[in-house]
Amino acid sequence: MATSLEVRGVSLRFGGVRALTDVSFAIGEGELFSIIGPNGAGKTSIVNCISGRYKPTEGQLFYQDRDITGLTPNARASLGIGRTFQNLALFHHMSVLDNIMVGRHHLLKNNFLTGSLYWLTGARKEELEHRRKVEEIIDFLDLQSVRKATAGTLSYGLRKRVELARAMALEPRLILLDEPMAGMNFEEKEDMARYIVDLNEEFGMTVVMIEHDMGVVMDISHRVMVLDFGKKIAEGDPAAVLADPHVKRAYLGEEDEVLVDPDDARPAQESAA
């Protein structure tokens, strides 16, 4: 199996806080790979490093054998890396359709000047093609009934689905899902799990997912990695990983501890933004 993503010795520090320490793993093309761990384990930090939101203090990241460590998030999106966020990042005043169209911005070939000659250049044809792709995503995620609705008026579960749709609109080959089922009820989780499996199997996307629901992780993941206090403590088959005594200790604990969440730490420049 060809390698889609390789993370080599990645460490991440925010001042004196160590969010990640020497984390290494590789994900094959077409895998559905889950990252689990208790609160504060560094799960979102590693996804932020992969997407380009954070730059590792040490280590390298390779996507399809290309070093992407220094690339911007936009450059990574252009290579085929898409993501959703733990906290919804939709444009709440825009329609569902327009939110999904935003996800195709990096695929647009016409610029401001050629776009102004809408009927004379390929701008009209290009827009129609993008809208056709968006309609396919809307059909796939069963969003037809809300396609013209304002995103901010939708239920939480539907908004999570719209965010997945926007990530799909990038046409990624690797998609990063940060807690796609957080805050959902049982039915919504079942639907989302089915969509994620279909993304992987029907669309051929490599999926990296952070998820707390162990039932979902066990049911749909090909492999699982466990982080604890920013360090990798296990990786492999879901059943074997969850039976690992180190993993049980990380989740159940041997004594009461207050965990500091390094994912809550932010670089100074980002906090000021």
Same domain, 166 and 184: no
Q: Does this model's pTM top 0.85?
A: no
Same domain, 70 and 200: yes
Same domain, 104 and 165: yes
- What would the pLDDT profile of 64-84 be if each residue is shown by its tens digit? 999 999 999 989 988 999 998
In a domain? residue 35: yes
Angle at CA 206, nearest 5°, toward 204 and 210?
Answer: 135
Same domain, 159 and 177: no
Q: What domain count does the chain have?
A: 2
User: Distance (Å, rounded) from C-alpha 250 to C-alpha 41?
Assistant: 9
Is the predicted pLDDT of residue 267 greater than 80, yes or no? no
Residue 251 has a pLDDT of 80
User: Distance (Å, rounded) from C-alpha 50 to C-alpha 177?
Assistant: 12
Same domain, 45 and 153: no
- Of 171, 199, 231, which one is at a domain's C-terminal end? 171
The CATH number given to whatever domain includes residue 185 is 3.40.50.300
Same domain, 65 and 181: yes
- Of 114, 136, 171, which one is at a domain's C-terminal end? 171
Same domain, 192 and 144: no
Provide the token pair at 62.
């390779």
Same domain, 266 and 186: yes
In a domain? residue 136: yes
- What would the pLDDT profile of 189-233 be if each residue is shown by its tens digit? 999 999 999 999 998 999 999 998 888 999 999 999 999 999 999
Name the maximum alpha-carbon separation found in the chain.
70
Same domain, 32 and 159: no
What are φ and ψ of residue 43, in 5° steps? -65, -50
- Of 124, 150, 171, which one is at a domain's C-terminal end? 171
Same domain, 121 and 65: no
DSSP class of residue 242 equals H
Amino acid in the structure at residue 125: K
**Which range has the worst mean pLDDT, 2-6, 42-46, 138-142, 213-217?**
213-217
Pick 186 or 207 by higher pLDDT.
Answer: 207
Same domain, 122 and 237: no
User: Distance (Å, rounded) from C-alpha 184 to C-alpha 216?
Assistant: 13
Domain span at 143: 93-171
Same domain, 214 and 164: no
Find tokens 């792709």 and name the residue: 133
Query: How far is the first Cα of the chain from the last one, in angstroms, to the nearest whole number?
Result: 41
Find tokens 């707390």 and name the residue: 212
